[in-house]
Structure 1
């Protein structure tokens, strides 16, 4: 991780030690934040720039930020650690009934939280509510956080064009890592390809294909085009002597 050359956030002790000295239980024994300091409080022109500053700071220090419980009308939003919260066992699974064993959980109930509030001037002010993480150490790689691997609309469109040009997933991965987000993984590329395929198939359903056809013959009979006409359209298709049973007209 890049610690911005900060003197008070050195690398974990013991990385260069050669003797058999016992290692401390935490890699940052003299750091109250355990290597994950909070972003500096400040004022930002809008909420996206506030989140960008928080996310970049968190990326350099081994964690990630997400928003929760937002109320944009009141001008308030909450920023929390992406490992905060607890999983809800909706299916009431147990160790015996669970099919997929040894599942790891990313949510550990971390209490790190900040508040972003809009002031009278229209700017957003970041204030820490709980500045310490708990339940997890700093991540060694940003790919462990889905919020740090997100792709914007431009990246998605570039990936779509690359797939249309018959590029392989490996080539698309290199393209996205070089131009948009270096933390994108191969699994993200496969998920993105499946998402693009679903979106394209939804745009080309049989019903929509029929509606988009321009070679369909349009009836020119005025009686068929006039909605007020009482002409029986199906009269020519009935066999001789057939009597209609409907009640909409007289026979």
Structure 2
């Protein structure tokens, strides 16, 4: 295999199946996850299995679920019976999105995957699959539209799918941060109200005590006045 070259583009993240830290986001990485209680070994296996299932090819489903080898998964996916390219193209992106969503939710190291995906920031993500006997460069692959026919089409939507999942994670993080801030503000308001109630209660107790003392003094004066009056009458 001829090695693929990598352009220097600070505005993009290029993901290969191996070679750097972002390779952990590759769909071929072994990262077990579940979807409707069924365990898949990788996003790649899920993708090819979904293709076979869509075209009701149970034999291909069984073969795909029995292997973890990326090249074999790709080969089996290309042999799906009754495959119709136009139908699959409408489903392809959504299948990749579902796979990565489930990895974020159910894989063993979901947090690590999520943090690495968020670490790509707002940059465009482009997946560069390993292709045998290829002379293509990453820059050429980068320029192929998602709807372009050919062998690359199965994987050209991976980057877009990762970006969708990343955007959803960012929105969720923002919502969680806003909710946490709202809860903190509510707690602070409740503490202030509690403090005000304590102050009001203390003030009321003080006024009540003062009123009792005043009432006691008035009763004492009235008793003395009555005593003086009786003494004078005698």
Greater strand percent: which structure? 1
Greater helix percent: which structure? 2
Q: Larger Cα Rg: Structure 1 or Structure 2?
A: 2
Q: What TM-score results when the alignment is normalised by the length of structure 1?
A: 0.29
Greater RCO between the two (CA within 8 Å, min separation 6)? Answer: 2
Q: What TM-score results when the alignment is normalised by the length of structure 2?
A: 0.31
